[in-house]
Amino acid sequence: MSRTRGTRGRHPRLRFDGWIAGVGTSSGTRVVLGHWQRSPFGPFSDVMIERADGERLLLAPSHRTADFVGDTYGFDTVRVVPVEVSVADDTWTVDAGPLELHFTVARRRPLGVLLRAVPGVLAARPAWAALTNGPAHLLPTQVRTRGRTGARRREWYGVRDMRPVGGMSAVFEGLDLGVMAPVEPPVRFGFGSVPRKPTLTRVTTTVELGR
């Protein structure tokens, strides 16, 4: 289910199930891919990019998704372009307008094995994200699982799996972005960043709309 209504006068809540990949590059550009298999907009993928000079760019596949993501997070530039993602075994390929991204994922570490055991029903509850927000602060780059976003919205991330990124290559506007590097400095799209070490994370994200 991708849309829910809260009780006791709460605002409507939208639910997104999928994966978030965050990688850094030696050129200083950081890339965050959202690959949503279930959402109120149907399956879609989007890419958030922060350049070395601080420019924040959103690549979204439709005006509808661009408006929603752009209102929820903060960007300097928004482009509507086809965003195609293919997954073959442990290799991910992303073709998003000016960006070509390839990355592979490695075996799960103990934390990933533990998170994979979290039932989907539990991960979908904002209370679970609130419970894990404290431990998340112990991770580098101030990872947070709940907070306030743009347009007076609130957001919760229910983490269900984590796998390290083993390697990547990326080209933006015809220029090679270099080799994989930590996501440093942290990206500035919302209330928190992705893990410092390049990571693929499975999440159930809940967005509560404001008024």
Q: Residue 117: its pLDDT value, please?
A: 77
Determine, yes or no, domain membership for 18.
yes
Domain count, the chain: 1
- Give me the domain span that covers residue 190: 13-208
Determine, yes or no, domain membership for 8.
no
User: How many whole angstroms separate alpha carbon 7 and alpha carbon 18?
Assistant: 25
Residue 78: which H helix or E strand, with range? strand 77-80
User: Under a CB-based contact definition with an 8 Å cutoff, are residues 39 and 16 in contact?
Assistant: yes
Determine, yes or no, domain membership for 7.
no
Determine, yes or no, domain membership for 1.
no
Q: Full-prediction pTM beyond 0.75?
A: yes
User: How many whole angstroms separate alpha carbon 31 and alpha carbon 51?
Assistant: 9
Determine, yes or no, domain membership for 3.
no
Q: Residue 33: its pLDDT value, please?
A: 98
For the chain (length 211 residues), average pLDDT per consecutive 10?
50 93 98 97 98 97 97 96 97 98 95 78 67 49 69 84 96 98 93 90 90 62
Q: What are phi and psi of 135, to 5 degrees?
A: -60, -30
Determine, yes or no, domain membership for 148.
yes
Determine, yes or no, domain membership for 75.
yes
- Going by C-alpha positions, the residue among 32, 14, 15 that lies closest to residue 23 is 32
Determine, yes or no, domain membership for 4.
no
Kindly write down the DSSP assignment for every residue of 84-122, as one continuous string: EEEEETTEEEEEETTEEEEEEE-PPPHHHHHHHTS-HHH
Q: Per this entry, what is the length of the chain?
A: 211
Task: Give, in degrees to the nearest 5, the angle at Cα 92 between 37 and 77.
Answer: 75
Q: Residue 132: its pLDDT value, please?
A: 59
